C-alpha cells in the first residue's frame, strides 16, 4: 500500500514538472537596429543589441518595451507565451522588429519546441545573438577600473652610489637619486609621464551583455524610510504629458485603459498614482486603478495616502485586503 501511494505521489510530481514551462523569447532587428528590452518594467540587456534571446520565461504573457539606440519612439507590446493544454511544452517564440508606416513595430514570426528550435533568421544581425536568463532586476554593468601611472623625472644627476626608493600608496612612483661631488659628471634625462587605464568587465549572474557605462545611482525619496517597490519613478515632465493623455478621454473606461498602459511600463510614486485616480469619475474605476498600480509603485509604505481619493470606507477596506494579499 505504501509503495502504491509513493508511486501515485511521484506521478503527480512528474505531471506537474511536465506542465511547468520555461519558454524562450527571441527579438531581433532585420535592419540591424540596436535596442534594449524591457520586460514587465525590468531591463534585460545592459547595452543595446540587435538580437536578444531571453530564456527561463514561465509566465503566460509579458509586457515588452523596446528602447532604440537611435532615439526612435519606443515599441510597446503584450507578448503571449503559451502552448496550452496537457501537451504544453517548452517553446521558443521569435519576434522581429519591422517598419510599418514609418513606425517600428514588433511582429510575431514563429514558434518551435526548444528541444528542436527553429533555425535562426537569415539576416546578418541574427549571427550576433545575446542570450540571457530572465532577470527580475535591472541588468546593470559591473566594471573595475585600474589606473597605472609611471613618472620619470628630469634633473641633474650626480653619482655617489646613493640610492633612494619611494613607493606612494601603490601608485608605482619610483625615484632614484645619485650624488657626486664632481661638477663634470652631469647626466640629464628627458621627463615622460605615461598613464594607462584598463576597464575589466564583470559578467552578471543573469548572463546579460555588459558595457562600461556607469550605473544609474539608486533613487532615494526624501523623507521616506519604507520599502521600495521599483527602482526609479517616472519623471515629472513625462508624467504630466501622460496625465494629459488620460484627461483627454471622455469616459472612465477609456481613461482607465490609458492609465493602465502608462502605469504598466513605468514606476510611479504614490502621489502620481493618486493624481491619476482623481481624474476618474467613479469610485470603482479609482479602486481598479489603485489595485493595478500596486505592482508598479515605488514608495509602497505611502500607499495608505491613496485612501483620500475614495469616498466610501468599503473601497479603502477592499484596497487594503488586496495589498495585503499581494
Q: Does residue 173 sit in the same domain as residue 269?
A: no
**Could you tell me if 251 and 164 lie in one domain?**
no
5, part of any domain: no
Is residue 47 in a domain?
Answer: yes
* pLDDT tens by residue, 76-116: 999 888 755 445 678 889 999 998 877 888 999 888 888 65
Domain-embedded: residue 121: yes
In a domain, 231, yes or no: no
Domain that holds residue 296: 236-325
pTM as predicted: 0.39
Cα 188 → chain centroid: 57
Question: b/e per residue, 225-260, with b = 16+ CB within 10 A?
Answer: eeebbbbebbeeeebeebbeebeeeeebeebbebbb
Examine the fold and report which residue of 133, 166, 193 is the final residue of a domain before the chain moves on: 133
The answer to whether residue 217 is domain-embedded is: no
Q: What pLDDT is recorded for position 131?
A: 75
The answer to whether position 90 is within a domain reads yes
Please state the rounded mean pLDDT for residues 172-198.
46
318 CA to centre of own chain: 32
Looking at residue 10, its pLDDT comes to 53
Q: Are residues 96 and 178 in the same domain?
A: no
Regarding predicted confidence, which is higher, 6 or 269? 269
Give the best-scoring range by mean pLDDT among 130-144, 163-177, 269-283: 269-283
Q: Do both 121 and 156 map to the same domain? A: no
Residues 27 and 129 in one domain: yes
Contact call for residues 35 and 67 (beta carbons, < 8 A): yes
CATH number of the structural domain spanning residue 62? 2.60.40
Q: Is residue 1 part of a domain?
A: no
Percent of the chain with pLDDT over 90: 40
In a domain, 53, yes or no: yes
Residues 165 and 97 in one domain: no
pLDDT digits (tens, 9 = 90+) for 111-160: 888 865 445 544 434 446 677 676 666 665 444 344 444 445 445 444 55
Q: What three-state secondary structure class fits 39? A: strand
Amino acid at each position: 500500500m505504501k509503495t502504491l501511494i509513493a508511486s501515485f505521489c511521484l506521478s503527480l510530481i512528474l505531471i506537474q514538472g511536465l506542465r511547468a514551462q520555461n519558454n524562450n523569447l527571441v527579438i531581433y532587428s532585420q535592419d540591424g537596429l540596436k535596442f534594449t528590452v524591457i520586460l514587465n518594467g525590468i531591463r534585460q540587456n545592459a547595452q543595446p543589441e540587435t538580437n536578444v534571446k531571453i530564456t527561463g520565461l514561465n509566465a503566460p504573457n509579458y509586457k515588452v518595451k523596446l528602447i532604440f539606440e537611435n532615439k526612435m519612439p519606443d515599441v510597446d507590446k503584450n507578448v503571449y507565451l503559451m502552448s496550452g493544454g496537457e501537451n504544453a511544452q517548452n517553446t521558443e517564440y521569435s519576434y522581429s522588429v519591422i517598419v510599418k508606416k514609418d513606425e517600428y513595430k514588433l511582429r510575431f514570426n514563429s514558434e518551435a519546441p526548444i528541444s528542436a528550435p527553429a533555425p535562426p533568421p537569415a539576416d546578418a544581425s541574427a549571427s550576433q545573438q545575446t542570450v540571457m536568463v530572465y532577470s527580475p532586476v535591472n541588468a546593470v554593468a559591473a566594471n573595475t577600473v585600474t589606473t597605472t601611472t609611471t613618472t620619470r623625472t628630469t634633473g641633474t644627476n650626480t653619482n655617489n652610489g646613493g640610492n633612494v626608493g619611494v613607493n606612494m600608496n601603490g601608485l608605482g612612483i619610483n625615484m632614484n637619486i645619485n650624488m657626486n661631488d664632481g661638477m663634470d659628471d652631469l647626466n640629464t634625462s628627458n621627463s615622460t609621464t605615461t598613464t594607462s587605464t584598463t576597464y575589466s568587465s564583470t559578467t552578471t549572474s543573469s548572463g546579460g551583455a555588459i558595457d562600461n557605462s556607469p550605473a544609474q545611482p539608486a533613487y532615494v525619496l526624501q523623507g521616506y524610510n519604507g520599502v521600495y517597490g521599483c527602482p526609479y519613478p517616472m519623471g515629472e515632465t513625462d508624467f504630466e504629458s501622460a496625465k494629459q493623455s488620460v484627461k483627454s478621454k471622455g469616459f472612465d473606461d477609456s481613461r482607465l485603459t490609458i492609465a493602465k498602459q502608462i502605469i504598466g511600463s513605468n514606476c510611479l510614486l504614490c502621489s502620481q498614482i493618486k493624481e491619476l485616480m482623481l481624474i476618474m469619475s467613479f469610485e470603482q474605476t479609482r479602486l481598479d486603478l489603485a489595485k493595478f498600480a500596486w505592482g508598479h509603485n515605488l514608495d509602497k509604505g505611502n500607499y495608505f495616502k491613496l485612501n483620500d481619493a475614495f469616498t466610501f470606507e468599503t473601497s479603502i477596506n477592499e484596497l487594503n485586503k488586496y495589498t495585503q494579499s499581494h
